């Protein structure tokens, strides 16, 4: 069972048919726990958990700390927990032995990734004890010592079984039957999309079943060059001659040897005189900043782009510019100092945006109920599109930016 990191008090009535036994829990379950955390927060944990007869378990999904009034995920974690379990005196005792985090985001200044990772050793020491509230063949309700209730629904079908032929998607790769990692990422993506109000097709192929992405990140230098090409293009359009003299902007391209990495569109913009470029491209060049956010995150920028976020604001732009400010120290040093995200985190976030993009495309064709209420399929959908473009490209080694497979 995924460890619930934000426990709440709940007072229920004990109802049970028989004492909890190992056979009651062995198998695959969809597990949900909800509740309040103090005065300000609520908690939602949604996982798929496999209890094995040898006393081990694994659990994949999300654990959310939520600000209910704004319906915002204050802290989001997603990934795989593994551990041990046993039934003692009619109670479930479980302990996490390892945690693999595929996705982490936080709106709380006091709980960044570094602080979260520092908590992990203590979490691994804890033994969670759950007593039964009710036990039936396909539904089990448990409660921990602090009152958190956990509702478990047995999964009777094969969790890897596709509900529809993935060949309906143009990115589907033939001949790949097993994709345990891709299924793991998809469980997390689906849970987050459901919380946010996106409804993606349930037949979308997972990571290893897709032709549009590879199994490794592009070289770091290529990702940095793409980020800096976007940066140079945006600066050329939005900054005045006084803020950034043209000769300095052009010298930046030459110093970093970026000209060969420019797209045709970027080359046209940078070849346009500054005053004309500002007048002609100001409205369109802003989309490149959405690309930049995702690319910068891959290279270590702290704030993770997310599917619920609107267009990036001035504070976010300033933070990205600050992230890029060491570029003046030289390419070699800048590359050395970058903290590139692990592959699993990039694949997880790309999968999340892949699903959101599918929901957006459905909304753009007139399908109701595929995106959150108040979500504009074109304006807000464009933000999803641009971030997804950057993430998919980062996983598409050898593919030109313009040729990135953005099929949904």
- CATH number, residue 30: 2.40.128.280
Last residue of a domain, one of 102, 127, 154: 154
Question: What is residue 38's predicted lDDT score, i.e. its pLDDT?
Answer: 83
Residue 382's H or E segment, with its range, is helix 379-394
Q: Is 353 within 8 Å of 361 (Cβ atoms)?
A: no
Round to whole Å and give the CA distance between 169 and 211. 10
Domain match, 346 and 329 both: no
Question: What is residue 230's predicted lDDT score, i.e. its pLDDT?
Answer: 97
Last residue of a domain, one of 283, 305, 337: 337
Report yes or no on 127 lying in a domain: yes
For the stretch 10-22, pLDDT in tens is 333 344 457 899 9
**Closest by CA position to 304, among listed 150, 39, 75:** 75
Q: Is 345 within 8 Å of 300 (Cβ atoms)?
A: no
Report yes or no on 238 lying in a domain: yes
Which backbone phi and psi does 353 adopt, to 5 degrees?
A: -70, -30
Report yes or no on 314 lying in a domain: yes
Which backbone phi and psi does 407 adopt, to 5 degrees?
A: -60, 150
**Closest by CA position to 296, among listed 352, 244, 348, 226:** 226
Report yes or no on 11 lying in a domain: no
Round to whole Å and give the CA distance between 408 and 171. 7
Report yes or no on 117 lying in a domain: yes
CB-CB neighbours of 396 under 10 Å? 20
Domain match, 333 and 355 both: no
**E strand residue ranges, 89-117:** 91-106
Domain match, 129 and 211 both: no
Report yes or no on 6 lying in a domain: no
Last residue of a domain, one of 299, 320, 337: 337
Task: Report DSSP state, residue 71.
Answer: T
Domain match, 41 and 150 both: yes
Q: Is the dihedral of CA 210, 211, 212, 213 positive or negative?
A: positive
Q: Is 75 within 8 Å of 49 (Cβ atoms)?
A: no
Domain match, 350 and 366 both: yes
Question: What is residue 17's predicted lDDT score, i.e. its pLDDT?
Answer: 54
Q: Is 152 within 8 Å of 138 (Cβ atoms)?
A: no
Residues with pLDDT less than 50, the chain: 1, 3-16, 162-167
Domain match, 32 and 149 both: yes
Question: What is residue 10's predicted lDDT score, i.e. its pLDDT?
Answer: 33
Question: What is residue 171's predicted lDDT score, i.e. its pLDDT?
Answer: 63
Q: What is the number of alpha carbons within 13 Å of residue 150 lying toward its C-beta?
A: 29
Round to whole Å and give the CA distance between 342 and 16. 45
Runs of H (alpha helix) within 300-373: 314-324, 331-337, 343-364
Domain match, 210 and 347 both: yes
Report yes or no on 1 lying in a domain: no
Question: What is residue 148's predicted lDDT score, i.e. its pLDDT?
Answer: 83
Domain match, 202 and 347 both: yes
CA distances from 56 to 22, 33, 155, 195, 351 (A): 12, 21, 18, 29, 28
**Helix/strand/coil (H/E/C) assignment for every residue in 234-280:** HHHHHCCCCCCCHHHHHHHHHHCCCHHHCCHHHHHHHCCCHHHHHHH
Q: Which residues are CB-contacts of 69 (< 8 A; sequence separation ≥ 6)?
A: none
Number of domains in the chain: 3
Domain match, 149 and 37 both: yes
Domain membership of residue 308 as a residue range: 220-337
Report yes or no on 236 lying in a domain: yes
Q: Is 87 within 8 Å of 22 (Cβ atoms)?
A: yes
Round to whole Å and give the CA distance between 267 and 169. 33
Domain match, 61 and 142 both: yes
Runs of H (alpha helix) within 101-255: 113-125, 180-196, 220-238, 246-255
Residue 78, SS3 per DSSP: strand
Domain match, 41 and 135 both: yes
| Tokens standing for residue 287 | 């989309």
**Closest by CA position to 2, among listed 44, 38, 55:** 44
Q: Is 102 within 8 Å of 185 (Cβ atoms)?
A: yes
For the stretch 25-59, pLDDT in tens is 999 999 999 888 888 999 999 999 999 999 999 99
Question: What is residue 168's predicted lDDT score, i.e. its pLDDT?
Answer: 54
Question: What is residue 170's predicted lDDT score, i.e. its pLDDT?
Answer: 56
Q: Whole-structure pTM over 0.75, yes or no?
A: yes
Domain match, 330 and 389 both: no
Question: What is residue 353's predicted lDDT score, i.e. its pLDDT?
Answer: 98
CB-CB neighbours of 176 under 10 Å? 16
């Amino acid at each position: 069972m995924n460890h619930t990191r934000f426990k709440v008090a709940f007072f229920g009535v004990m109802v049970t048919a028989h004492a909890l036994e190992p056979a009651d829990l062995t198998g695959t379950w969809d597990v949900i726990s909800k509740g309040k955390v103090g005065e300000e927060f609520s908690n939602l944990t949604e996982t798929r958990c496999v209890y094995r007869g040898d006393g081990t378990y694994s659990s994949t999904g999300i654990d959310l700390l939520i600000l209910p009034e704004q319906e915002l995920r204050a802290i989001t974690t997603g990934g795989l927990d593994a551990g041990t379990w046993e039934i003692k005196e009619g109670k479930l005792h479980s302990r996490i032995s390892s945690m693999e985090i595929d996705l982490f985001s936080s709106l709380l200044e006091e709980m960044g990734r570094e602080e979260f990772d520092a908590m992990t050793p203590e979490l691994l020491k804890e033994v969670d004890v759950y007593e039964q509230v009710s036990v039936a063949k396909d539904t089990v309700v448990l409660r921990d010592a602090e009152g958190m209730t956990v509702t478990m629904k047995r999964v009777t079908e094969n969790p890897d079984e596709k509900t529809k032929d993935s060949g309906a998607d143009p990115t589907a790769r033939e001949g790949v039957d097993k994709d345990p990692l891709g299924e793991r990422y998809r469980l997390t993506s689906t849970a987050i999309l459901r919380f946010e109000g996106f409804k993606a097709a349930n037949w979308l192929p997972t990571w290893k079943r897709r032709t549009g992405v590879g199994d490794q990140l592009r070289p770091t230098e290529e990702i940095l060059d793409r980020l800096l090409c976007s940066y140079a293009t945006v600066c050329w359009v939005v900054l005045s001659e006084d803020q950034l003299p043209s000769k300095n902007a052009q010298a930046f391209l030459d110093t970093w040897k970026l000209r060969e990495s420019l797209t045709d569109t970027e080359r046209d913009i940078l070849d346009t005189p500054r005053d004309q470029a500002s007048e002609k491209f100001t409205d369109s060049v802003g989309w490149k900043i959405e690309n930049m956010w995702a690319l910068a995150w891959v290279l270590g920028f702290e704030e993770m782009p997310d599917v619920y976020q609107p267009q990036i604001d001035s504070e976010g732009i300033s933070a990205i510019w600050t992230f890029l400010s060491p570029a003046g120290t030289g390419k070699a040093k800048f590359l050395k100092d970058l903290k590139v995200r692990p592959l699993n985190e990039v694949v997880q976030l790309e999968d999340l945006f892949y699903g959101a993009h599918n929901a957006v495309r459905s909304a753009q064709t007139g399908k109701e109920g595929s995106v959150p209420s108040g979500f504009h399929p074109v304006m807000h959908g464009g933000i999803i599109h641009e971030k997804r473009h950057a993430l998919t490209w980062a996983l598409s080694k050898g593919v030109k930016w313009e040729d990135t497979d953005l099929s949904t």
